[in-house]
Amino acid sequence: MLTIENVTKRFGEIVALDRVSLSLARGEFFGLLGPNGAGKTTLMSLVAGLRAPDSGSISINGQRVGPNAMAPRHELGFVPQAIALYEELSAEENLRLFGKLYGLAGQELRARVDHGLHAAQLFERRQDKLHTYSGGMKRRINVVASILHRPALLLCDEPTVGVDPQSRNAIFEFLQRLNADGMTIVYSTHYMEEATRLCSRIAIIDHGRMLALGTLDELLTHLPFSELVRIARNDRTTAQMQALAEYGEITKAEDAYLFKLRDGLRFSAFFAAAEELGLPYRYFNIRRPTLEDLFLHLTGKNLRDT
């Protein structure tokens, strides 16, 4: 469906994308996860044909994409990071305008606009001017505006930034329904929770480089541990750290110790030792690693802080 081969894009000294390759099958819900400045928007603008790469190639359904190759564009929908709607028009008028730009008219245009307004859960408000909408409501209309022509491939560039939870859920459900009906979606975000919840495969990017790619489970196998134990940091645990270090590797985090079990050992042995030492279970917290842990492992920094 979408093939990106060895794409590099520079802005002066900045390498916004560094030899990125990627291949998407039809029907995927694909995540681009990375902090601000990672290159997500740049990649989407190249796929949308708004800019040309310095080197490498992009094709959609076998057809080369670029500023001089307009052909696959009605195959494509693009939800830009910045809202691109007219504040002085109603939601319905905005959608009719976008629908006409995509070549829709008459009965079909009306039906698609109405359907989109219902999907956005904003049909009742359709005649209100956009400037009376909350940020989250505008975002919902922004998504609808980009799918009126039923593109095979939809690019969503951080569509939920600054959005209230209700609108966020409405956007998620809407996109998941479109995907279930066969639309291929590329979704960029710096929220690992969104990538985890929505995406069948995820690429982690930072400083223009693709650092890892796969399903959530595949990605998490890059981590040197499969479970993470946090140990509360207090006088009692601090006094016993030496004894617990026999069972694994312990690192000091801000408010806790992080424990990684030594290969070949069992957690049961570790917890038995902790019990022997008189440390109550409530000091321990086991959790599955997350994409946040993976990002930290790959880059040495937190997704959130950047």
**CB closer to ligand ADP out of 38 and 303:** 38
d(C-alpha 6, C-alpha 36), whole Å: 22
Given 40, 112, 138, 139, the residue binding ligand ADP (CB under 6 A): 40
Closest distance to ligand ADP from the beta carbon of 235 (Å):
43
Q: Is 14 in the site for ligand ADP (CB under 6 A)?
A: yes
Binding span for ligand ADP by CB under 6 A among 35-43, 107-115, 235-243, 293-301: 35-43
Cα distances (Å, whole numbers) of residue 291 to 8, 39, 128, 200, 245: 25, 18, 40, 14, 26
- Residue type at position 271: F
Closest distance to ligand ADP from the beta carbon of 20 (Å):
11
Those residues with Cβ within 8 angstroms of residue 163's Cβ, 6 or more apart along the chain or in another chain: 135, 136, 139, 171
Q: Is 39 in the site for ligand ADP (CB under 6 A)?
A: yes
Given 4, 20, 28, 41, the residue binding Mg ion (CB under 5 A): 41
Phi/psi at 184 (5° precision): -85, 135
Binding span for Mg ion by CB under 5 A among 9-17, 78-86, 124-132, 171-179: 78-86
Q: Is 237 in the site for ligand ADP (CB under 6 A)?
A: no
Given 27, 37, 66, 214, the residue binding ligand ADP (CB under 6 A): 37
Phi/psi at 103 (5° precision): 90, 15
Neighbours of 286 (CB within 10 A): 11
Those residues with Cβ within 8 angstroms of residue 256's Cβ, 6 or more apart along the chain or in another chain: 230, 231, 232, 233
Q: Which does 37 bind (CB under 5 to 8 A by kind): ligand ADP, Mg ion, none?
A: ligand ADP
By CB under 6 A, the count of residues binding ligand ADP is: 11
Q: Is 189 in the site for Mg ion (CB under 5 A)?
A: no
d(C-alpha 27, C-alpha 184), whole Å: 4
- CA-based nearest residue to 44, from 157, 212, 203, 143: 157
Q: Which does 39 bind (CB under 5 to 8 A by kind): ligand ADP, Mg ion, none?
A: ligand ADP
| Structure tokens that stand for 203 in this block | 């690429």
| Structure tokens that stand for 261 in this block | 């079990």
Q: Is 136 in the site for ligand ADP (CB under 6 A)?
A: no
Binding span for Mg ion by CB under 5 A among 38-46, 84-92, 257-265, 266-274: 38-46
Binding residues (CB under 6 A) for ligand ADP: these are 11, 14, 16, 34, 36-42
